[in-house]
Amino acid sequence: MTQGNFGIWDLVPGLLLLGAILLVGSLWFVRKLTKALPQGSNRNLWYLLGGLILLFFTGYLGFYYLQYGERYTKTEMLVAFIFFFGAIFVLMVTMLASHTALELKRIYTLEQETITDPLLDIFNRRYLDRRLHEETQRSKRYKLDMALLMVDIDHFKRVNDIWGHRAGDLVLQHLAQLMVTVVRDTDIVARFGGEEFVVILPQTREEDAYQLAERLRHAVEITPMLMASENGSPELNMTVSIGCACLMTNDIDAFALLERCDQAMYRAKQGGRNRVARCTCSEPEDDSEKTC
């Protein structure tokens, strides 16, 4: 064999060992992905892939030791090169999968930050406006029921004046968490501004929306918040006034519905607070059901 051929033969064991190292790197990326994934079939498939890579790695080492100190034939040299480039392929696939998953997670986090109120961990006004428009258009297009609630904390200014703005933030957080637990999973809770909240109720009839609003009002009334102080932890009782409105065929857009819901909420406050007022689509039975 010529000196040039001997040089290529001498390169093969190094390629096999380098390929094995690349496979170890692939296993590191697989481990990084499986730690980030929740329990489930997707995570199990990545475990399976890790097992196959480990089996591939064992084959590398086995081929290397079987040929250790022996002269490689042309066929064996071809197998060694295929093994090496196979290791490069596996490393690139796992590395790109890991980097893509991290990038998607970063994008998702940024999107969540743009649509989430940082203090209350519920949707913000930007997301509310978008979803309100989308749900209104969808409901009008497919002739679906839709309702809206506007919730305002009664005498919220007193909380800030007596307990301070930090206590006001805690009250807002308390109410936001309570609202999320009371409404349905399909409902959308968002901060409208200040101490006002809006709940979008897709595919919800007027009477069902009114009953949900009453449940929410009652839950707030019977669920005080503990306020830590030097004298212990006194209970801070709060109430809310809620406006309820349903989508009507003559509503021009989503903001027409929002305006009627806002009017109902103010009527609830004017009627004594701690109550639900609605802009009904049918004949009202009393002033709390006045048509807006």
DSSP letters along 28-51, please? HHHHHHHHHSPSSHHHHHHHHHHH
Does 167 map to a domain?
Answer: yes
Name the stretches of the chain with pLDDT < 50.
1-6, 283-284, 287
Does 120 map to a domain?
Answer: no
Q: Of the residues 115, 136, 162, which one is the last residue of a structural domain?
A: 115
Give the C-alpha separation, 262 to 217, whole Å. Answer: 16
The pair phi, psi for residue 253, each rounded to 5°, is -150, -175
Closest by CA position to 240, among listed 287, 176, 147, 290: 176
151 & 173 share domain: yes
Q: Of the residues 93, 115, 137, which one is the last residue of a structural domain?
A: 115
How many C-beta neighbours within 10 Å does residue 85 have?
12
> Which residues partner with 193 through β-bridges?
196
Report the catalytic residues.
195
Q: Of the residues 115, 140, 156, which one is the last residue of a structural domain?
A: 115
**Which tens digit of pLDDT belongs to each residue from 107-151?**
888 888 889 999 999 999 999 999 999 999 999 999 999 999 999
225 & 149 share domain: yes
144 & 110 share domain: no
**Which tens digit of pLDDT belongs to each residue from 65-119?**
766 656 666 666 777 788 788 888 999 999 999 888 888 888 888 888 889 999 9
The pLDDT of residue 38: 81
The pLDDT of residue 87: 87
The pLDDT of residue 6: 46
Read off the CATH number of the domain in which 245 is found.
Answer: 3.30.70.270
151 & 18 share domain: no
136 & 69 share domain: no
Give CA 4 to chain center in angstroms.
60
Domain count within the chain: 2
Burial 88-121 (b: 16+ CB within 10 A, else e): eebbeebeebbeeeeeeeeeeeeeeeebbbeebe
Give the C-alpha separation, 280 to 46, whole Å. Answer: 54
Domain coverage including residue 45? 3-115
For residues 249 and 222, is the Cβ–Cβ distance under 8 A? no
